[in-house]
Structure 1
Amino acid sequence: FNFYKPVYFNLEPDEEGPTTESIKKAFLAHVKFIYLVADFANPSGSTISLKRRKEIAFLAKKYNGLIIEDSPYKDLRYKGKHIPSLYQLAPHNTIYLGSFSKVLAPGLRLGYAIGNPELIRFLTIAKQGADLFTSGFDQAIATEYITSGALKNHIPKIVALYRPRLEAMLSALEDYFPKDSHWTHPEGGMFVWVTLPKTIDASELLKKTLSRKVAFVPGKPFFPPSARPKVGLNTMRLNFTNTPPEVIRKAIKIIAEEIR
C-alpha cells in the first residue's frame, strides 16, 4: 500500500482480533477499506474469533464499509474447526483474496479475488496496469492441478507435515526460552510471534544467531510506521514450515542461549 502513500488508521487488537470499537472508529473516519487477515495472520499467527467476525460484518453492513479479507493461510489449519470467512458473513461488503503460494508452490505467484463484480472489474484493470498479465503458463499448470483433484489431495499432506513442526516449536519455546517472554499459540498458518524480555533487541539478537546459522525476522518492521521506533524492538517472527522438528528444537535452543 505504501506506493500510494496512504494515511493508515491503526486497529487496536485484543485476544479475539481487532476490537469492535476500533473497527467502528475506522468506518466512522471513512477509511477506504479495512484490511484483515482473519486466519493465522502474518506475523502473529492469530485468528479472529467467530464472535468478532460477526461483529465486524455487522459494522461493515451498518456503515457500508469495505473489508479486504486476505486469506492465504486458511487451509493450513492443524487443530480446531474452520471458521466462516468475513466474506461469507458480509459478502456485499467484502473482497476475499486467496492465494496458491502457500498451498501449491511459492514460485507460482497466483491468487484470486472474490467480491462485487464491479469492484473486481476495477481491480482487474488496476492489476493489468501494474504488471500487464499473469503468466498464462503458470495459470495453466495451476488449473490442471486444481481440476484434476490433486490440490485437494495435497493440502492434507502439507497440514500433516507442518503440524508436528509447529508442535516442536511450541514445545522448544516452553523448554528453552526465558520465563518472562511469551508467544502466540496458533492453530494454523506458518508463524509464531514471540515477545522477548524488554531488555532484548531482536535485531541485535539476530546478528548473534546468524553467526550460528539460525535466522528469524525481527518484529519491528511489522508495526505501523506511526508506532516506530517506540514498539516492537523485543519481538520476533518465527517460521516453522520449512524445517524438521529436530532442527527446530536445536534452533530454538541456540536463540535462547544467545538471549542469555
Structure 2
Amino acid sequence: MTLTILRTGPLTVIKDEGRPGHAGQGVAPSGAVDRGAYARANELVGNPRGAAVLECTLGGLRVRFDEPATVALTGTDAVLTVDGTRTAVEEVVSVPAGAEVAVTMPRRGLRSYLAVRGGLAVPAVLGSRSTDRLAGIGPAKPAVGDTLPIGPAPTAPSSVDVPPQAGDPDAPLEVDLGPRDDWFTAAAIETLLSAEFTVSPSSDSVGLRLDGPVLARARTDELPSEGVVRGSVQVPPDGHPIVFQADHPVTGGYPVIAVLTPAAADRAAQARPGARLRFVVAPA
C-alpha cells in the first residue's frame, strides 16, 4: 500500500516520536512538534506508539492512496476532505482506493497531523523516521509526485471512541523556572510571568522567537554551552526569548530562564506568527 503526494502545502514533513539518545553525536531528539496531537492521531487509527505520520503546516496537503485506507487528522481545526466531502474534526475516516484526501487551511492552530493505519514505512535514520530540519537528517521533505510506503495494518482496532481534547488555547503557558533564572534580574522574572509576548515570523520548528519586553540579565559573564531540551526558554544578549521546539539544537550558549511543561510545549507548537503568548509558573 502506498500514499502519493499531490500537493504539500506550505510545509509537510514526516514525523514520529523522535530519536533520543544521540546527543553525544550532536543529534537532538527531534520528533513531532506537537507530541500530544501526534500521539492522538496514531491512537485514533489504531497505530502503535512511534508510527510515522505527516506533519502539515497551515494545511494545503493533498494525497492519494492506492488501496483503501483508514486515516485521522488532529492538531488544529483544519478539515479533512475525501474527494471534496468534508469529514468531522478528529474523526476516523475510511478512504476508498484512489480518492483524493486533502487538508484545509486551519482557522486556528498551525500544525496538523495526518496518520494512516499502518504508519509511513519510509527508512529510519538513527532509529527514527522524523525529519530533523536543523540537523538535516531523516527523510527528505515529501515533494509532489513522491510515493510513500505504508506499513502493514496493526491487529488492534482503531480507537474510534476517543473524545476530542479540551482546554483553553489562550491560557498562559506553564513553565518551571530555571535552570538559569538566577542569571536574570527580579524584574525580568516578573516581566516573564506578567507580560505578553508576540510570536515572530522568523519562528520555525527549531524555536519560537518572541517579540516583546526585554528580559534583563543580572549577570553578564559568558555561560559555557550546556544541554537544552524542548520547551527551554533561552534568552540571547538582546533580551528577547526563544522557546526551543522539537528540532532544537543539542546545546545552547545562552542562559535558560525557564522550561515549558510538556503540555505547554505542545500548545506552543500550534502558535502562529503574530500569536500572543503569556507564561505562568506551573503548579507544584
TM-score range, shorter chain: under 0.3
Q: Which structure exhibits the higher relative contact order, with contacts defined as CA atoms closer than 8 Å and separated by 6 or more residues?
A: 2
**What TM-score do you get using the length of structure 1 for normalisation?**
0.27
**What TM-score do you get using the length of structure 2 for normalisation?**
0.26
Q: Which has the higher strand share?
A: 2
